[in-house]
Structure 1
Amino acid sequence: MENLLLLHGALGAATTLEAIKDKLQGQFNVYTLDFSGHGGRLISPEPFSMTLFSQDILNLMEQEGIEQTHIFGYSMGGYAALTFALQNPERVRSIFTLATKFAWSPEAAAKEAKLLDPEKIELKVPQFAETLRNRHAPQDWKELMHKTAEMMQHLGQKPPLNPQNLPSLHLPVQVAVGDRDSMVGLEETLWAYRLLANARLLVLPDTKHPLELVPVERLVNEILTFTKAAI
């Protein structure tokens, strides 16, 4: 059976992918991971970065004895998947990204990072703050958020995915975005699609950014259709 690795988004955890994992078991050997500092994993003093998260992917594959895998990456997970594939193309069979933000600039990063204010979130959206507290316990979700904001600032200064390196990636990639995604635009998704040598574009109708709002059955069917075509 083929391998499939599911990667969560910023401030997410492997638990956010359980419904998708459950539906795909039996079709693939399905794996998930918590990126460093997420889902209760130790928050190291090292800054969050795509390099760090790529190493997380490599570590998991080495630990599980995975030579090659398909990857589904939601939001930040898709960005990490592509970064990993650029460094380790022989380890990746295909990549399916959903709601991945590609348009990183100093201005875009500042806008995104401004939203990651733990104190404001705790005050204005206490239910979300409690979700993050439980999701990342025993780690401090506020520290996690600060480190994520810092990572976004670095992405804005020097995006790891750019017009120079994306065309060198020849494995099958499907970039997907919801038509009602207020965080990730169609234009930036098209930008990545046009640069990638072997890409497909998928626009999901009536779909917003949060993963929990994407119908699981629809997403699973799209993953199956794409990965089977890539085999």
Structure 2
Amino acid sequence: MENLILLHGALGAAATLGALQQALAGTYHVYTLDFAGHGGQAIPEQGYSIELFAQNVLSFMEQHQLQQAHIFGYSMGGYVGLYLAQQHPTRIKSVFTLATKFAWSEEAAVKEVKLLNPEKIKEKVPRFAAMLADRHTPQLWEQVMHKTADMMQQLGRQPLLTTAILAHIPQPVQVAVGDQDNMVAIEETIQAYRNLPNARLIVLPATQHPLETIAITRLKHEIDIFMASVSALLPV
């Protein structure tokens, strides 16, 4: 069976991918991990970055003796997966991104960071705040959110997946987005798909940004189709 690593999104944790991991477990060797500073992991002094999270994945692969793997990345996890594919093409066999934001600019970062206000979240969506607190304990979820905001601002200043860089990612890539995603525009997803030389595109109907709004059976079906297409391209 092929190795498949599932990467969570911003403010997420490996546990958020548990149901998907279970659904895929009979078909692939499925792995998940918490990025540094997520899921209770210590928050790094240098803060969050895509480069750091990519190194987390490489260290995980070394620890589990995975010479190569396919990547499924939700939201920020998809960005990390593509960055890994570009930086380490011999290690990453393919990437499936879901609800990944590609169009980073200073303006886009400001818009995203406005949503990452712990005090407003405590006031307006206390259940979400409680969920984040449970997800990241013993770390403070407010600090996780602040570090995430800092990372987004850095991405706004210096995106790592520019049009030119996407054009030099040779691996098969599946790009997926929901048609009701209010954080990732269909237009930016299509643009990324067009820039990637070996990509497929899916727009999921009646689907918002949160992972829990997507039926696991549908997501597994799409991953299976993509993985089958990748296998057909690989040498026997």
TM-score relative to the length of structure 2: 0.97
SS of residue paired to 1:46 = coil
2:119 — aligned with what?
A: 119
CA distance in 1, matches of 2:56, 2:92: 15
CA distance in 1, matches of 2:163, 2:44: 31
CA distance in 1, matches of 2:39, 2:148: 14
CA distance in 1, matches of 2:44, 2:167: 33
CA distance in 2, matches of 1:169, 1:107: 26
1:39 — aligned with what?
A: 39
Q: Deviations over 1:178-228 (max 9, x none)?
A: 011111111100111011010000010111110001000000010011011
1:214 — aligned with what?
A: 214
Q: Deviations over 1:80-131 (max 9, x none)?
A: 1001111101101110000000011101100101110111111111100000
TM-score relative to the length of structure 1: 0.99
Aligned positions of 1:6-25 closer than 5 A: 6-25=6-25
Q: Deviations over 1:143-190 (max 9, x none)?
A: 000000000000000100001211111100010000111111111001
CA distance in 2, matches of 1:18, 1:102: 25
Amino acid at match of 1:111: K
Unpaired runs of 5+ residues, structure 1, are none
SS of residue paired to 2:54 = helix
Task: Give the aligned CA root-mean-square deviation in angstroms.
Answer: 0.6
Aligned positions of 1:183-194 closer than 5 A: 183-194=183-194
SS of residue paired to 1:168 = coil
Amino acid at match of 2:177: V
Unpaired runs of 5+ residues, structure 2, are 232-236
1:165 — aligned with what?
A: 165
SS of residue paired to 1:165 = helix
Moved over 3 A (4+): none
% same residue: 58
CA distance in 2, matches of 1:55, 1:157: 21
SS of residue paired to 2:176 = strand
Amino acid at match of 1:63: Q
Give, in angstroms, the shift of residue 47 of structure 1.
1.8
CA distance in 1, matches of 2:163, 2:124: 39
Amino acid at match of 1:226: F
CA distance in 1, matches of 2:111, 2:140: 23
Aligned positions of 1:120-135 closer than 5 A: 120-135=120-135
Equivalent residues, number: 231
**1:204 corresponds to 2:197:** no
CA distance in 2, matches of 1:208, 1:120: 22
1:81 — aligned with what?
A: 81
